[in-house]
Chain A
Amino acid sequence: MKRNRLLAIMTGTCALAALAATAAAETSVVQWDQFSSSGATSSGPAMEALIKVCEGELKDVKINRTVAPSIGIRDAYRLAVSADKTPDLAYTWPAASVLAGYARTNKIAPLDAYYDKYKWENVTPFYRGRNSYQGKIYAVPMEQDLMGVYYNRDLFKKLGLEVPTTYAGFKDVVEKLKAASVVPIAFGNKDRWPATNTMSLLMGLSTGRANEEKVFFGDEAWTNPGFKLAAETFQQWGKDGYFPRGFNGIGVDEANALFLGGKAAMNVGGSWFLQDMARNAKFDIGVFMLPPIGDGVAPGTMWGEGSQWQISASASDAVKDAAAAYVNCLTSPANRQTWVEKGYTVPIGTTAEDLAKWNTLPLVKEFFGQGLATADSNFYDLHTTLPESVTQVLYPELQKLVGGDATPDAFLATMQDAWKVAIDKGERWAP
């Protein structure tokens, strides 16, 4: 009896020791991300699948995941950072300028050594620049964000409309839609950020990437003719009935519902709505790229990474190594297919040829096929390029501009003032 008890105690002790050894070898990484199951960035199923895959591949890495909705993650992350509770690994938006703020205050870790180790060649110089601050790289961008014009193909066919290839053609389509009593563009700007994306698109198409860079990274003022054309165009859209009545009081979900319900013919939106659009459209949905507005401007679209993986500077070296290995797994060529097929998210480095082979929706292939074709002339996203202090001026000023309560000149002058203050305070991000 005594012998049996002794044996049981010894066996138990051995089992506990084995468990403890396993636990000691395992590195726990606290991850915050915004991949939910519905709404914008609803790539949750892909994230869940890839955590399993990567934990399987990296035997000693354990991911402790927290999902924060994309609408609130940037606020929650800022609070966590300021309280020195920065999660080990986070996937947050917006990128570039806000990332620079955390790099400037030494809250996130430089990842140059990991870039050397894992190569991450899919992250091109453009994207590396957008994730750099004063010569060091601080994040690994993953998904590609593009802007396009979703349209109701059935409605276009019914009204005998062709996809426009010039800006004049686009205006003609809008006039025909108005004549048919159809809302041309489902646009709602109560949430304030949608106008920022539309303005990013209009700025690029009015002046081109090179001229944008003269303002964002050089000394050119906002009050330049290219930006003025964009501001005038946006205001004209608001005044001339391109949008539903009261667009500044319509939420982004309501605007999307207006389009998905067949009451509006087009929706100028980003690839972050692909999941919602593809799942909920009860009609044949298509996408095209808005043609250039300014003379001599090359075709292109707004693009960027929107969000990126970043590692806490205060994490231990072991956790940093584990987080980097895990990010390497998540963004590996083999796992890109999972992001596309289960999350309708197209990781950086994915080509149109890859998409053609993979099992994803035609809309995803159509969107990225067009957006990736103009890689050399695609332009900047204001959200991720401007410091938050400027973005918080841009939001209300755009509502005033599009609502007709500020002239394009007044809008640009206010933006230039906010821009100058941000530069003086050292908040400007430059690649």
Chain B
Amino acid sequence: MQNGRTAFLFVAPALVLYAVFVGLPILQVFAYSFFTWDSGTIRGFGGLENYTRLVADGVFWTALSHNAIWVVLTLAFPLMAGLITASILAERSPRTVRLLSVLYFLPRTIPMVVVGIIWLWIYSPIFGLLNWFLDSVGLGNLGAAWLAEPNTALLSLNIAGAWTFFGFCNIIYLAAIQSIDPSLYEAASLDGATWWQKFRFVTTPLLRSTTLFLGLYAAIEAMRFFDLVYVTTSGGPGYSTEVLTTHIYKTFFLVGDFGYAAALSVVLLAIVLSISGISYRMLRKP
């Protein structure tokens, strides 16, 4: 009993801070979502009005679909590339491993706003590095206004996002591979397994929980990301790169419709919490 009380006293400061700076604001947002607002001022109680608006809000559904596409693309590219490069890297000398993993991880240390500016310059239709490169290798006809065309904008942004996430996946996979018992690889070699067979039948199955962690982490991040889109395209052209967070931002700050922005935030919170719940359950399984 005494121990429980002492433990609670130790936890209490953090709990109070969490309640004040996380719990209360969430409750406040939840409460806001039941009111109608005008220019940042409460107009009256609206009940579920803001939630019923979601059904007919085309921008909301477009944004949600873009978040989903982002999740799929993130799972498809950075995770896969991180796994393959980590598998190759694990067999190299410690010096090579250190050097390359630092290089791969470097983009992850750059703030997303700066990443956005870097890729704006790379994709610029006037003086962009990408179009210049394509021109210089005789592929100028493939050049495009990458962030200005609806059919390339979201994919181009995802590549920028993948550039920052790939190094993180690589480091996590590398650590996981290095913790695999080397005797398993030795046994596979004695059985005549090729590199690909060892990767397919030893490495990949043993990295199940790592992949699960990275996948769910990527999914949560994909629902929350904002800065890269806002800096580069603000959701445009049209609604081509609109995601839930940019829709919430515009509804809140620009339109001043705090109630609807709060309802959108509650929905986003529910999605993120659901993914977190699933990940928690899956990661707990042995």
Contacts and interface: CB of A to CB of B under 8 A. Distances in A.
Interface of A: 74-75, 78-79, 81-82, 98, 101-102, 104-105, 107, 190-192, 244-251, 254, 258, 388-389, 391-392, 395-397, 399-400, 403, 405-406, 427
B40 interface: yes
Contacts of A101: 38-39, 256
Contacts of A247: 125, 145, 148
A12 B147 CA distance: 68
Interface stretch (B105-113, B168-176, B196-204, B234-242): B234-242
Contact of B124 (A81, A250, A400): A250
Contacts of A82: 39-41, 256, 258
Interface centre among A78, A246, A258, A400 (most CB of B within 10 A): A246
A317 B148 CA distance: 51
A190 B256 contact: no
Nearest to B251: A392
Interface of B (DSSP majority class): loop
B39 A248 contact: no
B40 A79 contact: yes
Contacts of A74: 254
A185 B175 CA distance: 54
A402 to B, nearest CB: 9
Interface centre among A192, A391, A403 (most CB of B within 10 A): A403
B146 interface: yes
Given A75-B253, A104-B38, A190-B148, A258 B238 contact: no
A105 B251 CA distance: 18
A244 B128 CA distance: 14
A245 B39 contact: no
A190 B250 CA distance: 16
Interface string B28-67: 0000000000111100000000000000000000000000
Contacts of B126: 244, 246, 250, 254, 258
23 contacts: A74-B254, A78-B39, A82-B39, A82-B41, A101-B256, A104-B38, A190-B147, A190-B233, A191-B234, A246-B147, A248-B236, A248-B237, A249-B125, A249-B145, A249-B146, A249-B148, A388-B254, A392-B255, A395-B236, A396-B238, A396-B239, A399-B236, A405-B237
